[in-house]
């Protein structure tokens, strides 16, 4: 065969009739000349129509599968003229575009010029304290608003939209096609008014018929406590007005949290590191630290080790949309002095004698030998 019909429709050779019909309708919606006027698409549309005519007819499909010409008998039939043979799927073309019953001239009515506006997103940078406790900001937004000259109607002052003289205000025109089934009436958007049913005799000079103009406006927004980097806040109806003075879209605020010089945020908890002297870690002390609420005192217990954490409860970030706060987690680093004067060195040596640590032995757990010990044991067969 010159054409592989199964490949043309993109189905298997054992495809069921319903699967073949679905594949054809999907391709017909994409390739119909009214949708894709490109000549290549028109040729492709003819191919899928011919393939469906064969594969949807059990007799023709059987002849095709056996290698015979499925049009051998149909060519001489009374319906051969004009290319509309007995199996031509004209009703399926109508169903593919307009759904079942489209051949009866189903009416859709005129389109509205007013459509909903697009959503918009703006980025808002906040400090950590603003994210933690909330903030009020005045934002300047470049957006579309209803045209003040025509109030969204799109026409020049003193004029109004006029009924289309081609479709009579219906927004669509009907076309009669002949097939072997008789006359079939189809409808499509009116080419004169674009499907709106009305015409603008004199478009508004300010908005050029769009019903909206670009402008800059300032809005005051309240940012709730607990937001974080990447949080999106929806402001309903604060986006741009739609064409024809349609309802506005929404405005989304995307939060960007600036880095803090002291605190690192993890969820609603804050983390920071404090460095304390060796003596303070050994003897204990009271340390004054910074927090989002101001200075706070923390107790360093005697014997505190480097790497220990001290929590300050309810000193973190406010939970978003709920009560309570996170914690401030303080990580302790013990600083060992790098240089000692003679008096300091003598005191530490005296302390080492008292503690029996003049020559502190390394502490090894049983079985934790060094690399060279393991190597020696391997050669000795131990």
CATH number for the domain harbouring residue 279: 2.60.260.20
User: What is the pLDDT of the chain when averaged over all its residues?
Assistant: 82
Write down which residue in 66, 98, 130 finishes a domain: 98
Half-sphere exposure of 325 (CA within 13 A, CB side): 21
* Beta strand spans in 147-257 (E): 162-163, 172-179, 182-189, 198-199, 212-223, 232-235, 251-257
Total number of residues shown for the chain: 382
In a domain, 64, yes or no: yes
- 187-193 CB contacts, 8 Å cutoff, 24+ apart: 187/98, 187/105, 187/106, 187/107, 187/108, 188/34, 189/111, 190/164, 190/166, 191/166, 192/164, 192/165, 192/166, 192/167, 193/110, 193/164, 193/166, 193/167
* Segments forming the whole domain that contains residue 346: 261-382
- 12-19 CB contacts, 8 Å cutoff, 24+ apart: 13/65, 15/55, 17/56
Whose CA is closest to 160, among 196, 202, 194?
Answer: 202
Do 177 and 184 meet the contact criterion of CB atoms below 8 Å apart? Answer: yes
In a domain, 212, yes or no: no
> What percentage of residues in the chain have a pLDDT greater than 70?
80
Write down which residue in 33, 68, 98 finishes a domain: 98
The helix/strand/coil state of 299 is: strand
pLDDT-wise least confident of 224-228, 311-315, 343-347: 343-347
> What percentage of residues in the chain have a pLDDT greater than 90?
47
In a domain, 171, yes or no: no
pLDDT higher at 55 or 371: 55
In a domain, 245, yes or no: no
Alpha-helix residue ranges (DSSP H) falling in 237-341: 278-283
| pLDDT bucket at 224, cuts 50 / 70 / 90 | very high
> Sign of the C-alpha dihedral, residues 154, 155, 157, 159?
negative
In a domain, 228, yes or no: no
Cα separation, 114 vs 180, in Å, equals 42
In a domain, 164, yes or no: no
Q: Tell me the pLDDT tens digit for each residue of 234-281.
A: 999 999 999 988 899 999 999 999 999 999 999 999 999 999 999 999
Pairing of strands 296-300, 285-289: antiparallel
Q: Tell me the pLDDT tens digit for each residue of 65-97.
A: 877 777 765 444 444 433 444 445 555 555 555
In a domain, 113, yes or no: no
Write down which residue in 71, 98, 125 finishes a domain: 98
pLDDT of amino acid 181: 58
**Over residues 328-341, mean pLDDT:** 92
In a domain, 146, yes or no: no
pLDDT of amino acid 45: 79
Residues with Cβ within 8 Å of 254's Cβ and at least 6 positions away in sequence, in order, are: 121, 122, 123, 124, 230, 231, 232
């Amino acid at each position: 065969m010159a054409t592989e019909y199964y490949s043309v429709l993109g189905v298997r050779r054992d495809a069921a009739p319903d699967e073949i019909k679905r594949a054809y309708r999907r391709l017909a919606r994409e390739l119909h000349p009214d949708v894709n006027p490109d000549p290549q698409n028109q040729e492709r549309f003819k191919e899928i129509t011919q393939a469906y005519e064969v594969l949807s007819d059990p007799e023709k499909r059987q002849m095709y599968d056996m290698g015979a010409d499925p049009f051998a008998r149909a060519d001489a039939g009374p319906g051969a003229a004009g290319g509309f043979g007995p199996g031509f799927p004209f009703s399926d073309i109508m169903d593919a575009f307009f759904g079942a019953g489209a051949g009866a001239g189903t009416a859709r009515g005129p389109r509205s010029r007013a459509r909903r506006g697009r959503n918009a997103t703006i980025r808002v940078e906040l400090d950590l304290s603003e994210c933690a406790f909330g903030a009020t900001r005045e934002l300047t937004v470049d957006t579309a608003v209803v045209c003040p000259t025509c109030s969204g109607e799109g026409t020049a002052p003193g004029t109004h939209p006029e009924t289309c003289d081609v479709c009579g205000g219906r927004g669509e025109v009907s076309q009669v096609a002949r097939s072997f089934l008789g006359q079939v009436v189809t409808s499509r958007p009116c080419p004169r008014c674009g499907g709106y049913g009305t015409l603008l005799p004199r478009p508004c000079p300010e908005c050029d018929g769009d019903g909206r103009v670009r402008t800059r406006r300032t809005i005051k927004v309240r940012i709730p406590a607990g937001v974080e980097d990447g949080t999106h806040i929806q402001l309903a109806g604060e986006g741009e007005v739609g064409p024809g003075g349609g309802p506005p879209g929404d405005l989304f605020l995307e939060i960007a949290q600036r880095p803090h010089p002291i605190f690192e945020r993890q969820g609603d908890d804050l983390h920071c590191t404090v460095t304390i002297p060796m003596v303070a870690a050994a003897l204990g002390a009271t340390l004054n630290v910074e927090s989002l609420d101001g200075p706070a005192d923390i107790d360093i217990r005697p014997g505190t080790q480097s790497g220990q954490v001290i929590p300050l409860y309810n000193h973190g970030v406010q939970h978003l949309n709920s009560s309570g706060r996170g914690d401030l987690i303080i990580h302790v680093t013990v600083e060992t002095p790098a240089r000692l004067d003679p008096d300091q060195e003598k005191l530490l040596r005296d302390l080492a004698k008292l503690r029996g640590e003049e020559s502190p032995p390394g502490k090894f757990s049983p079985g934790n030998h060094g690399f060279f010990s393991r190597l020696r044991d391997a050669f000795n067969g131990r």
